[in-house]
Structure 1
């Protein structure tokens, strides 16, 4: 993975980089898995008769059971203090907001992931992205990092390293590679006018 290079042009900035063949294959696999997870979540949405009558899409009203999907689709509202009536009001609010907005959130995540898949160089090599494609890459890579970080139980305290023989050691290396890829891209996106 090379650092990203921002090139200003008459039709807006372009973002150039290169991936080795194994990096392109790994990123394609990870993002394809992410799309599959999002589609599984979307397909688990119960049928809503009101939505069928009004044409308004609704999503799941219950949070995902899987920790990885909980990280990708978190609750909308977290009370700062305990409510005297218990957690019912917060759960009710989250249920309503989730039902209304989850389809759009899944669509946005899937669209970003698909743009990455459409623009990644098959077999590796040099490539160039528009600003919109670069934004989609940043979003999709972030979602993959969130999913992988949840599996690795990465929090504020790490882990920075795992023993070489740990079964998830290779996954942590991939997480760190994704972090660098995303960081370099975000730096390039923020480098306007420099």
Structure 2
């Protein structure tokens, strides 16, 4: 992949780069996996009679058990040891109200990325709005992959060859570089 560049044209600003077929395949697979996680979560939401009568959508009131999904859909308020049951109830209520729209936006951004990826590699030209969607989707993929690999502040930049996470860490670093390059181009 080439670094992102910003080009002004008669049709407006375009954010450009290029990917080979292998890079597109890896990125497409990761994005589709995140969409799958989010879609399964949305499909498993409990039904609510009042919501059905009013047309409101509701989501889960409990956090996801899957660590990667919990990282993508964190609580609205961080639990502290001194918190009481009201904090858990507040998180559940906020999650139930807002999680469907959050999932919708994450899936929408991921679909924008998938729709703008060249099928077998090649040039990419994004509008600023599409580039923002890419940033959201890249962030979600990085969060999910990083959680799955157990990446934290103490993880070295390079792992031993025998570590089963080593090849995946390279992908994580590639996603980080791609996201950083895109942020640099979008920042005035």
Whole-angstrom distance in 1 between the partners of 2:80 and 2:10: 48
Q: State TM-score, norm by structure 2.
A: 0.96
Residue in 2 aligned with 1:37?
A: 37
Deviations 1:60-119 (A, max 9, x none): 011000111110000001256613xx3x11100000000000000000000000000000
Whole-angstrom distance in 2 between the partners of 1:105 and 1:10: 34
Residue in 2 aligned with 1:138?
A: 135
Whole-angstrom distance in 2 between the partners of 1:107 and 1:56: 14
Residue in 2 aligned with 1:71?
A: 71
Q: Is the contact between residue 12 and residue 131 of structure 1 (CA under 8 Å) also seen in structure 2?
A: no
Q: State TM-score, norm by structure 1.
A: 0.93
Indicate the RMSD between aligned Cα atoms, in angstroms. Answer: 1.2
Instruction: Give the SS at the match of 2:126.
Output: strand
Task: Quickly say closer, same or farther: Cα 1:113–1:61, change in 2 above 3 A.
Answer: same
Task: Quickly say closer, same or farther: Cα 1:173–1:81, change in 2 above 3 A.
Answer: same
Residue in 2 aligned with 1:168?
A: 165
1:108 equivalent to 2:105? Answer yes
What is the Cα deviation at residue 130 of structure 1? 0.6
Instruction: Give the SS at the match of 1:126.
Output: strand
Which stretches in structure 1 are left out of the alignment for 5+ residues? Answer: none
Residue in 1 aligned with 2:55?
A: 55
Task: Quickly say closer, same or farther: Cα 1:139–1:105, change in 2 above 3 A.
Answer: same
Task: Quickly say closer, same or farther: Cα 1:168–1:81, change in 2 above 3 A.
Answer: closer
Structure 1 runs (4+) greater than 2 angstroms displaced: 9-12
In the alignment of these two chains, the number of paired residues is 188
Instruction: Give the SS at the match of 1:97.
Output: helix
What is the Cα deviation at residue 175 of structure 1? 0.3
Q: Is the contact between residue 79 and residue 90 of structure 1 (CA under 8 Å) also seen in structure 2?
A: yes
Residue of structure 1 aligned with 2:117, choices 113, 117, 120: 120
